[in-house]
Structure 1
């Protein structure tokens, strides 16, 4: 009851609180549908209860705020329906349409007790946010910015954003590392959260790290895989989509889901439905490059062989030509020399005959001359003999010099042509040896890479990680239904073996079907 002190009616705090409690209870007796933003879910794992903080904003300013309660059973029911309809769990920062009762407690104050949440409303809100992100990116003119970047001819160096334990990442690496063509990729993993509230900031932080070492990579691969449809709303966030759209090198995604594309996938250079398909996309680029190279190698090999054969034939023809030309030239020179010798002898004989005739005539005419005149005639005959001898020697010497010059010229030309052809052959042999050596080195490296990956699959490595092999009658057992009680089985560990007798067997539907 209120007190009266100095003409003042005074109420206690408890009285005022109970009055407010009664008034609110009388006024708000029904359940009400209320639209609000769930600022924080505040789920406590140990109790299973939630204490959401609800807001309403206008122009970015909070104009209303109230706390609420969501008990464990209601939360589990509502969260399951959210997963089924929106493919997302209840989480912070989403707009919801909730059904709640209004209550006031003298100690805890005003609150809403949530009994239901319309998942369809939140689904529409998520789609509205997605369309708003798309519209904003298009208005800024960056929606297709990443798609317009030139894609590298060989996307060899890959910056991968994923989780170390992701099955999708394992599938992706298995395909590119064990490709049958022996193509070699270089990649670095940038670990990030790929779903949940912190996934947007986590992925953006890794994009920022990659940007600082941009020259080391050709493309960025965002790989999720294995996560189903849960947590995809993160990829509709406008900040993440902006970071991907404006990234300076191509961003390719393999997020792994079968629903409509997220905004991040829409703005990426290439979107594959699974990480495995994304790996095949990269391999295809290598294959498209390798095919013309292989064809060019074959053409070069054939053309080189043809050129070598042609040069060999040309060299053989040249040698044969010069041999025949040299022989013909020598034969012609011999004929000229023989002809010159024959004409010289004939001229000499003719001259001697003429001189002899003259001498006989002079002898008959000048028989009566004195001994002095006879001596003069003898001197004249001696002089004429010496002159004839000099002329014969001069002719023979010029023919011999001409023959020697022709022979030397032919030898020099043959030697020079042979030397040039030998140098061309040596250069061609050196080039072929270099190409063959490089091809053998690349094949050896590919073989070493294959051996290294095969060693990882050694069963001994699997056993060392804590796994074991169970044998029944010497055969490995994969299904429990083939074992019965009292059977003797052997268990092989990484270090040792265990023999035991079965006392209990448990099977399930999967095992029986198997």
Structure 2
């Protein structure tokens, strides 16, 4: 074969380069492809990977290109990761702006200049919405959509007013777990907590099963936890894809203990957040929520305590006022009763004295009338009846004297009765007046053991303390 019939490889490469420059120089293409064989050199800030397209529904390759992202492309990938929360890695579908580059030593390559964030966000959102729809369709007894909000079995569980026994799912090296513990242990109220850690991997979208396994371990422990806390902190935002997975959402939605999430994100809620009983942004906020809930309960108890104290004071004041009114009423009734008795005795004495006076006056008038009648009789009657008059006069004198004696005895008897009925006479018979705080004690006055009473006798006033009370049977 002559030298005119073959080319050196470098010569062929040069021809290819000329053709590539004529066709592709200065041109860029937006292409959709999957990323494979990815590697990253942090020192150089270079990405090396392949872009592939597979036949739908199979693993058959339709196209493959080597690709590189330097300087401009690497910066755009960093923006992409920060915006989407998706790590630029294998098995993601992306829309890239690339140029075609041919190098004699390295062959044909695609150089990345830009990456469409909105395309990936849309893809991630579609995946998220697909997982949410699947949760509703496949778990109708535990997940439902009501007025645009997801309602789960876990969300409808009663969250205790006091949260003390906690199970925490986190990475053992997570800064978020340290923040969570620090916030709980240093609460100003001095609340005590029992925290059981269930450490596992909390990053990597393919590691959902590890979190599910820890939830199963918590359930099988048989411990009556007040809540389960899933926290993550200190990692990249791209690690949040783990919490968008269907398996985690299903496990949380069906879990029989309230789940609180604090997975360290500031943007939209993940599937795990939407399925959990309470979703918070960070581990610290999760700890603050628990402390605040306990504080709310303590404040409520303090409010009840103050309310009870106020009502008790009001009741005591009302009772004191009622006792005072009863005291005044009894005192007035006692005085009125004594006055009535005194007035009755006085009236009875006056009546008896008046009756005696009237009786004496009647007898005196009767005698005067008889004397007048006899004085008017003729002298002969006086003479004839002189003996009779003498006899009658003697008889009358005897009767008058006898009547006077009888009436005097009656008056003396009435006076004796009056004296016997007087308080002084009653006291001299051995009776006594019993008073409590200067009030005469009768049936309506209640005496209690320990009361100090005053006893008034005919000659003395005594003070005594009640040590025993026994009911007296009048029968």
- State the TM-score, normalizing by the size of structure 1: 0.52
Q: Which runs of 5+ in 1 are unaligned?
A: 1-32, 42-51, 98-114, 423-514
In structure 1, what is the equivalent of residue 152 of structure 2?
A: 145
Cα separation, partners in 2 of 1:351 and 1:406, compared to 1, 3 Å: farther
Matched pairs, number = 358
Q: Which secondary structure state, in structure 2, belongs to the residue aligned with residue 180 of structure 1?
A: coil
CA RMSD of aligned residues (A): 5.7
Q: What is the CA distance between 1:241 and its match in structure 2?
A: 0.8
Cα separation, partners in 2 of 1:347 and 1:376, compared to 1, 3 Å: closer
Cα separation, partners in 2 of 1:57 and 1:215, compared to 1, 3 Å: farther
Measured in 2, the distance between the counterparts of 1:125 and 1:302 equals 62
CA contact (8 A) 1:251 1:269 kept: yes
> Which aligned pairs between 1:31-430 and structure 2 lie closer than 5 A?
85-86=80-81, 94=91, 128-140=126-138, 141=140, 142=143, 143-146=150-153, 148-149=155-156, 151-152=158-159, 154-157=161-164, 158-196=166-204, 199-212=207-220, 216-291=224-299, 293-352=301-360, 354=362, 367-369=390-392, 411-413=441-443, 415-416=445-446
What does the per-residue CA deviation read over 1:344-393, in whole Å, with 9 as the maximum and x for residues that have no partner?
A: 23323443554577689899986415989987887666666555555665
Q: What is the CA distance between 1:328 and its match in structure 2?
A: 3.6
What does the per-residue CA deviation read over 1:44-63, in whole Å, with 9 as the maximum and x for residues that have no partner?
A: xxxxxxxx9x998998xx87
| Stretch of structure 1 that moved more, 361-370 or 147-156 | 361-370
Cα separation, partners in 2 of 1:230 and 1:79, compared to 1, 3 Å: farther
Cα separation, partners in 2 of 1:323 and 1:211, compared to 1, 3 Å: same
What does the per-residue CA deviation read over 1:95-136, in whole Å, with 9 as the maximum and x for residues that have no partner?
A: 679xxxxxxxxxxxxxxxxx9999989887655533321221
What does the per-residue CA deviation read over 1:182-202, in whole Å, with 9 as the maximum and x for residues that have no partner?
A: 555554333332123774222
CA contact (8 A) 2:154 2:257 kept: no
Cα separation, partners in 2 of 1:215 and 1:331, compared to 1, 3 Å: farther
CA contact (8 A) 1:146 1:268 kept: no
CA contact (8 A) 1:228 1:256 kept: no
Measured in 1, the distance between the counterparts of 2:213 and 2:389 equals 137
Greater Rg over alpha carbons, structure = 2
CA contact (8 A) 1:153 1:289 kept: no
Q: Which secondary structure state, in structure 1, belongs to the residue aligned with residue 256 of structure 2?
A: coil
Q: Which secondary structure state, in structure 2, belongs to the residue aligned with residue 217 of structure 1?
A: coil
CA contact (8 A) 1:147 1:250 kept: yes
Cα separation, partners in 2 of 1:351 and 1:283, compared to 1, 3 Å: same
More helix by share: 1
Q: Which secondary structure state, in structure 2, belongs to the residue aligned with residue 368 of structure 1?
A: helix
Q: What is the CA distance between 1:254 and its match in structure 2?
A: 0.7
